[in-house]
Amino acid sequence: MDFRDTPEETAFRQEVREFIAREAPKQEGTGDRDIISSYAQVFVQSQQWFKKLSERGWIAPAWPKEYGGAGMTVMQQFIFNEEMAEARATRPLHLIIGVAMAGPTLIVHGNEEQKKYHLPRIISGEDIWCQGFSEPEAGSDLASLRTRAVREGDDYVINGQKIWTTIAHLSKWMLLLARTDPDAPKHRGITYFILDMKSPGVDVRPLVNMAGGYEFSEVFFTNVRVPKANIIGEENRGWYAAMSTLDFERSAIGSAIGLRQTVEDIILYAKEHTNDGTSMLCANPMLRYELVDRLLETEVGRMLSYRVVSLQSKGLIPNYEAAVVKLYNMELDQRIARTGMTVLGPYGQLDRGSKWAPLRGRLEYMYLRAVGSTLETGTSEIQRNIVATRGLGLPRGD
Ligand SMILES: Cc1cc2nc3c(=O)[nH]c(=O)nc-3n(C[C@H](O)[C@H](O)[C@H](O)COP(=O)(O)OP(=O)(O)OC[C@H]3O[C@@H](n4cnc5c(N)ncnc54)[C@H](O)[C@@H]3O)c2cc1C
């Protein structure tokens, strides 16, 4: 791969950079980590900024113009994302499931009516989406899900429960997996639905994560009616479309640039803070090596992301390659949080509410939140299984 921008890409990068410098709301360089627990607050505060992005089609730059995107190449979209990350510009995180997962799924598997209705509403920020896959007894073994959908006339009636549903409390729509044929082999009796979260019988109950953030919920369904027209693809063939949603999700997760910036912030902190005039890095030379390792690892993470983008730019949906990126970057997320806590020492435990919290409590939050990084979108073990079987061609373990 040639890593250099073409002249057109250079011009585009410059345009994006200038736009962000001119229009993005100014915030003390913190990026996503500060806001992840408060999607709703960011949504309100950044309305104007998101509107400007949306007007340019830059909420989903590579989507076709007819659906509200900017019709850009995948590479231009990547450049846009890189510039947003470098500038630490606020990203519309509340739209991430719509933009990174629901939209791409509908573009590949949805019918024309679904695309025309939903895609522009995702881009305008009008509709927020969530992903209803996991259940209390179906996480890694997703195909054993038990939420039932029973056909009644032109509707399906849904009963069951989902769990860990990120931003369910803010969402208008859910990507729902439900069992339509309990007698078929477990992967073949599942249908993929678009569920209106405002339908009668949908009950969203909050779950608070160990970092104190309200990100996800349990969602209960009691006789919820979903029209047949809301099936994505075909009845009982939902599993295959849902697997591409997971590929899209893993391709989009985790910015290596954001991770590098966190390591740079930790390095700066370590340089500036001394014990009786002696830098902590002199007192603890092993910490210097650790910081060097973390910085190098963010470069590896960036290179792995390029592989995913180069496949996407050829029109392919990355599969085990996306699992590699997810696995590597999310385990790195945890290592960086641990290194950061070592550098900050006991002060690192102070949370964002304390005026004494170093780096405004970002690392304390990151350290606790990062526990979930190797679980969400499929655990590290599941990613390793994908890479082993689909990437390396090794036999299955079961
Ligand atoms: C922050 C966060 C956000 C999330 N958001 C969503 C969301 O929006 N929508 C949604 O549907 N879900 C969401 N999830 C749920 C997530 O997808 C599941 O937690 C994940 O798939 C693991 O399932 P589980 O929790 O049931 O663990 P289990 O599947 O019970 O796994 C328990 C342990 O066993 C290991 N294990 C299981 N099977 C195997 C195997 N075959 N080989 C080796 N090891 C194995 C796992 O790696 C894990 O360590 C979210 C989770 C988190 C943490």
pLDDT band at 212 (very low <50, low <70, confident <90, very high): confident
Mean pLDDT across 76-89: 91
Distance in Å, CA 140 to ligand 1 centroid: 5
Q: What percentage of the chain has pLDDT greater than the value 70?
A: 93
| pLDDT of 64 strictly over 50 | yes
| pLDDT of 33 strictly over 50 | no
Strand positions, DSSP E, 208-260: 216-227
How far apart (Å, rounded) are the C-alpha atoms in residues 24 and 46? 9
- Give per-residue pLDDT as tens, 376-398: 999 999 999 999 999 999 998 76
Say what the pLDDT of residue 32 is: 43
| Residues 118 and 127: beta-carbon distance below 8 Å | yes
Decide which of 315 and 134 is more confident: 134
Say what the pLDDT of residue 44 is: 67
Say what the pLDDT of residue 211 is: 85
Q: Which of 266, 270, 257 is nearest to 338 (CA)?
A: 266
Please identify which residue in the block is written with the tokens 């007007």.
55
Residue 23 annotated in active site: no
Mean residue pLDDT of the chain comes to 90
Q: Which of 225, 203, 220, 202 is nearest to 149 (CA)?
A: 225
Q: What number does the ligand 1 atom closest to the CA of 385 have? A: 42
Q: What percentage of the chain has pLDDT greater than the value 90?
A: 71
How far apart (Å, rounded) are the C-alpha atoms in residues 271 and 261? 15
Say what the pLDDT of residue 351 is: 87
Mean pLDDT across 59-84: 91
Adjacent-strand bridge partners of 178: 191
Which tokens belong to 1?
């791969």
How far apart (Å, rounded) are the C-alpha atoms in residues 349 and 340? 11
Residue nearest to atom 18 of ligand 1 (CA): 139
- Give per-residue pLDDT as tens, 164-179: 999 999 999 999 999 9
For ligand 1, whether the C-beta of 372 sits within 6 Å is yes
| pLDDT of 38 strictly over 60 | no
Distance in Å, CA 161 to ligand 1 centroid: 16
Pocket test for ligand 1, best of 140, 193, 383 (most atoms within 8 A of CB): 140
Q: Are strands 173-179 and 129-132 parallel, antiparallel or unpaired?
A: parallel
How far apart (Å, rounded) are the C-alpha atoms in residues 151 and 53? 41
One-character DSSP codes across 39-103: HHHHHHHTHHHHHHHHHTT-SSTTS-GGGTS----HHHHHHHHHHHHHTTPPP-GGGHHIIIIIH
pLDDT band at 272 (very low <50, low <70, confident <90, very high): confident
Give this prediction's pTM. 0.91
- Give per-residue pLDDT as tens, 172-203: 999 999 999 999 999 999 999 999 999 999 99
Phi, psi of 151 (to 5 degrees): -70, 130
Q: Which of 330, 333, 324 is nearest to 247 (CA)?
A: 324
Tell how many helices (H) and how many strands (E) occur in the chain: 14, 9
Q: What number does the ligand 1 atom closest to the CA of 140 have? A: 29
Say what the pLDDT of residue 36 is: 43
Domains of the chain from N-terminus onward: 7-91 (no CATH), 129-234 (2.40.110.10), 253-391 (1.20.140.10)
Taking residue 367's Cβ as centre, other Cβ atoms within 10 Å add up to 19
